[in-house]
Structure 1
Amino acid sequence: MVLPFEKLEDSCPNCGSKQFTKNGSIMRKKPKYGCQKCGHQFVKNSTKIWVTQEQKNLIDKLLLERISLRGIKRVVGVSWRWLQNYVNKKFEQIPRQVKVSDKPKGKLTIECDELWSFVDRKNNKYWIWLALDRKTREIVGCYIGDRSRSSAKKLWASLPPVYCQCAVAYTDFWEAYDTVIPALRHRPVYKDSGETNHIERLNNTFRQRISRLVRETLSFSKKVENHIGAIWYFIHHYNAQIANSL
């Protein structure tokens, strides 16, 4: 039986719906209700502080800016434990593969570079390998690991097939690229050549937008999974913004 809002004297703390069904009771015999709209279960006049969908949406936006989790906690007004669990779950679900617009076979140009970062301590280095489409500015490849040939190979493997088959790749002179990128399409250049300006500018954008990547920061990652998840979260947002402008 659906109970009207007037009898409950409350609304669903998760979605604000006023339609409920009674659903048993909690340990102290207090009645428990189930929301018909979102399925959320709650008790009337609970002292527990619920995080609204609007707060979650705000958190999702703040995760894309250079603000620490402690800062997000203070701004949004949620508990540290809840926020950490929310972020952990969110980053676990982020796809680890780029999403880019379809490209026909033909002339394609990419720029590749590695961005230094660390997890927990500075000698625990993680390099962010990135590939950028020079024309569209989309991030078309990414791998996060060490700075070895194996990581360069995984960056190349992360590219959509059309780029592996057709793209000319501009890189710096880091030796790992030589054994991975086909020689006829590999263009190693010095930074002052201007041929890698776009990827170097992207590196700066990463450091400006992701607090974990700021060189002198207290917002560094303590878990590898969250470090990788935060970077991929920003990559998907970045590519979505580019796709909307194409």
Structure 2
Amino acid sequence: MKCPRCNSQYIVKNGHTHTGQQSFKCRDCSRQFVIAPRHQPLEEDTRELIDRLLLEKISLAGIVRATGVSPRWLQYYVNKKLGAVKRQVEVKSKKKGKLTIQCDEMWLFVRDKDNKQWIWLAIDVLTKEIVGVYIGKRDEAGARGLWDSLPAVYRQCAVSYTDFCPSYGIVFPKKRHRAVGKDTGQTNYIERFNNTLRQRISRLGRKTLSFSKKLSNHMGAIWYFIHEYNASLSLN
């Protein structure tokens, strides 16, 4: 028998684990271990598969069944990963000039339907990049959050097409703001992206068992998808 850390053979028995397995200890490096542990470190391929599955409309329970990881480990992994996602749009740099964006807001809930949240989104009509994101209430503060999330060049130059939500008219510059109906087709790109979100993120389904219990995870899942979506555009 050798120590899995330093390969020393100076090994002694060290009691038992809570499951009854014999525990050993290395006298040279003090590493404690068991023979044939039940839980092995996950391979990198499994972690990459989990990362891809988090971008699809599949519940955490479904990921557990597909990968064989434990529910407790997966929840810990998801909490850590989504908590570290950057809450700021990353888009290609643009020169000042003629820019056009479409904006819309989409309803969702966290834990229960009494805790309503709204995703405010803006899409670049030319590049199809998501250039603005804010999650909050459907009020002036929400429109302000979306406006502040836009890169500076869009706040300076872009013409914005939105629905008739009055908060847009309060926050967005009047000379570059166009409130239009769905029948005009001037907001069709952002409305289509809203549908993509609901189709790809199980937490956003109107009737689902995969809803979020934590707002931080909810926001992290949305940001995680948007970053991957924008990154995929540069590959096409």
Using structure 1 for the length normalisation, give the TM-score.
0.85
| Aligned residue number for residue 141 of structure 2 | 150
8 Å contact from structure 1 (residues 22, 31) kept in 2: no
| Aligned residue number for residue 64 of structure 2 | 73
Q: 2:64 corresponds to which letter in structure 1?
A: K
8 Å contact from structure 2 (residues 14, 25) kept in 1: no
Among 39, 54, 62, the alignment partner of 1:49 is 39
Within a 5 Å distance, the mapping from 1:146-225 to structure 2 comes to 146-225=137-216
1:152-174 Cα distance to aligned partner (Å, 9 max, x none): 10100000000000000000000
Distance 1:107 1:9, change over 3 A: same
Q: 2:158 corresponds to which letter in structure 1?
A: A
8 Å contact from structure 2 (residues 24, 32) kept in 1: no
CA deviation after TM superposition for structure 1 residue 52, in Å: 1.9
| Aligned residue number for residue 3 of structure 1 | none
| Aligned residue number for residue 220 of structure 2 | 229
| Aligned residue number for residue 21 of structure 1 | 6
> Which sits farther off after the overlay, 48-57 or 184-193?
48-57
Matched, 1:121 2:99: no
Among 122, 127, 134, the alignment partner of 1:131 is 122
Cα distance in 1 for partners of 2:48, 2:214 equals: 24
8 Å contact from structure 1 (residues 107, 167) kept in 2: yes
Distance 1:178 1:43, change over 3 A: same
CA deviation after TM superposition for structure 1 residue 102, in Å: 0.5
The structure 1 segments of at least 4 consecutive aligned residues displaced by more than 4 Å after TM superposition are 7-10, 22-27
CA deviation after TM superposition for structure 1 residue 43, in Å: 3.2
| Aligned residue number for residue 109 of structure 1 | 100
8 Å contact from structure 1 (residues 8, 44) kept in 2: no
CA deviation after TM superposition for structure 1 residue 231, in Å: 0.3
Structure 1, unmatched stretches of 5+, are: 1-6, 11-19, 34-40
Distance 1:32 1:211, change over 3 A: farther
Cα distance in 1 for partners of 2:161, 2:233 equals: 21
1:90-137 Cα distance to aligned partner (Å, 9 max, x none): 011000000000000000000000011100111211100000000000
| Aligned residue number for residue 131 of structure 2 | 140
Matched, 1:30 2:24: yes
| Aligned residue number for residue 99 of structure 1 | 90
CA deviation after TM superposition for structure 1 residue 59, in Å: 0.5
SS at match of 1:114: strand
Structure 2, unmatched stretches of 5+, are: 16-22
Q: 2:61 corresponds to which letter in structure 1?
A: R
Q: 2:109 corresponds to which letter in structure 1?
A: F
Q: 1:163 corresponds to which letter in structure 2?
A: Y
Cα distance in 2 for partners of 1:213, 1:27 equals: 49
CA deviation after TM superposition for structure 1 residue 56, in Å: 0.9
8 Å contact from structure 1 (residues 108, 133) kept in 2: yes
Matched, 1:83 2:74: yes
Aligned-residue sequence identity (percent) comes to 55
Q: How many residues align?
A: 223
CA deviation after TM superposition for structure 1 residue 46, in Å: 3.6
| Aligned residue number for residue 20 of structure 2 | none
8 Å contact from structure 1 (residues 32, 44) kept in 2: no
8 Å contact from structure 1 (residues 100, 138) kept in 2: yes
